[in-house]
Amino acid sequence: MDDHGLQLLDELVKSKVNELRAIIPADSQSRGSTLFPLLRRLIDATEVERLDVLKDLSNASDITRSVLGRKLLRYNQKLDVLHMLAADYVADVDRRDIPVGLLCLIDTLIDDLLPNPADPLVHLVPDRMYSTLTLTQLAASLLNDSSLVASAGPIVFNLPALDPANALLSPILAHEVGHTVVQERKLLNQLTQTVDLGQIDAIFKRCLAKDPKADPSRWKGQLGSWISELLCDALATALTGPSFLYASATFLPAPSGGGLGSHPFPAERVRFTLSQLDSFGWQGYLDTHSAMVTDWLRTLESNRPSIPSPEEEFLTESVALMESAIASIAAQHVVSRLDVSDYSKCSAELCELFEAGIPPSRLQHGVPTPWQLILCGWEVALQRHGNSSRSLGQAVSDRAFNAFLIKGIELVRITQLWDAA
């Protein structure tokens, strides 16, 4: 590479470094602001690398100059990645267009599920989807630098841009946070130490023999993905109770067949959630407050094709063997499981306040939890709309009622902070 090319690349790297530094405040302690030290570390490292290249260029041979030129090209590409991260997420730091109650709910999720403190960054996306993303892992992947995984950085909460504060669908966020729990607490490793892997292997060999053209590694990868999704469902169910059943049945939605892929079939997931709720003692509640909906959901799996493919047979039989272990391991990692007896003590008073349009903050039995509020919201909404499958969709579409629930969560959080002061 000649001097002209080297000079151009050096100038590009230098200008991009300065451009990125200009958008990073010197000091920020607001929500999501751990993004800034992460970016600053990566930018500073690139600048040091650029200066090292300049020093080596002074006495470099033609071959060495070509190598150094390729380094500058790589630094230039790295800065383009950092530009993308900054452009996507800097505006989300300390954003003020999100209801306070939603931020309180996200904080509750972090406290209830994650083993370590986390810095949440709310990001609105065009898809009608919920997801979470550890930004250091994204940076590590994009920059091919595994050392970044252990760095401090925010957890991004991706919410649908047109309806980010839907309280009744918030249990889906509990599932998404569950992916971080599964990874950080190595729940898959715990599961493999609990179940009989010999039985799983026998199912694998029997089903594989039915499909000579199958890709064994793909099957195993699919099983890992299915188990991860069910662990996340189990975490969300333990934390939010029947609310996750209603939210997931609406969001998936439950009647969709779904193709054979990285997620279990919706009917399989609903059946698993119902089984877990029954084991937690929620069956009586479901039969009393959502009998029509629950009865319908219990029939979904029986409507699936009776002759599955060999791969589907392997996946469904394998997860069936692991169901109780999945539910048990997940329950061990939820700090404050929604308990049916605790909820029954406050539900009547909560429902009375909800029907009167009064956001609750303190009840006769103390301060309600956000997940008690969400479940009561589902209970009142289903009753208002007729306790049918249609009522699930009507409940999540009621913007005014969801905003009311979010305000209630805000008041509960304020009361908790007041009591702790």
- Note down pLDDT in tens along the chain; length 421 residues: 677 888 898 889 889 999 999 998 877 788 999 999 888 888 888 888 888 888 887 777 777 888 888 888 888 898 998 999 899 999 999 999 999 999 999 999 999 998 778 899 999 999 999 999 888 888 888 787 777 776 667 899 999 999 999 999 999 999 999 999 998 899 999 999 999 999 999 999 999 999 988 899 999 999 999 999 999 999 999 999 999 999 999 999 998 876 788 899 999 999 999 999 999 999 999 999 999 999 999 998 766 656 688 999 999 999 999 999 999 999 999 988 999 999 999 999 999 999 999 999 899 889 999 999 999 999 999 999 999 999 999 999 999 999 999 999 999 999 988 888 7
Domain assignment present for residue 262? The answer is yes
Smallest CA-to-CA distance from 88 within 143, 27, 138 is with 138
What's the confidence (pLDDT) of residue 303? 65
Residue 37 contacts residue 136 (beta carbons within 8 Å): no
Domain assignment present for residue 345? The answer is yes
Given 64, 94, 124, the domain boundary residue is 94
Q: What tokens does 136 get?
A: 């250091």
Same domain assignment for residues 213 and 277: yes
Same domain assignment for residues 78 and 147: no
Same domain assignment for residues 73 and 177: no
Same domain assignment for residues 311 and 350: no
Domain assignment present for residue 352? The answer is yes
Same domain assignment for residues 152 and 51: no
Same domain assignment for residues 287 and 408: no
Domain assignment present for residue 221? The answer is yes
What's the confidence (pLDDT) of residue 151? 67
Domain assignment present for residue 264? The answer is yes
Domain assignment present for residue 106? The answer is no
Can you give the pTM of this predicted structure?
Answer: 0.91
Same domain assignment for residues 243 and 314: yes
How far is residue 183's CA from residue 90's CA, in Å, rounded to a whole number?
A: 26
Domain assignment present for residue 123? The answer is yes
Domain assignment present for residue 104? The answer is no
Amino acid at 60: A
Given 276, 310, 332, the domain boundary residue is 332
| Residue 386, Ramachandran bin (φ over 0: left; ψ between -120 and 50: alpha; else beta) | left
Q: Which helix (H) or strand (E) holds 318?
A: helix 310-332
54 φ/ψ angles, rounded to the nearest 5 degrees: -60, -40
Same domain assignment for residues 377 and 283: no
What's the confidence (pLDDT) of residue 6? 83
Same domain assignment for residues 157 and 303: yes
Alpha-carbon Rg of the chain, whole angstroms? 25
What's the confidence (pLDDT) of residue 307? 67
User: Which SS3 state, helix, strand or coil, does residue 158 take?
Assistant: strand
Same domain assignment for residues 244 and 179: yes
Same domain assignment for residues 135 and 193: yes
Domain that holds residue 372: 340-420
Given 264, 298, 332, the domain boundary residue is 332
User: Which SS3 state, helix, strand or coil, does residue 363 take?
Assistant: strand
Same domain assignment for residues 285 and 140: yes
Number of domains in the chain: 3
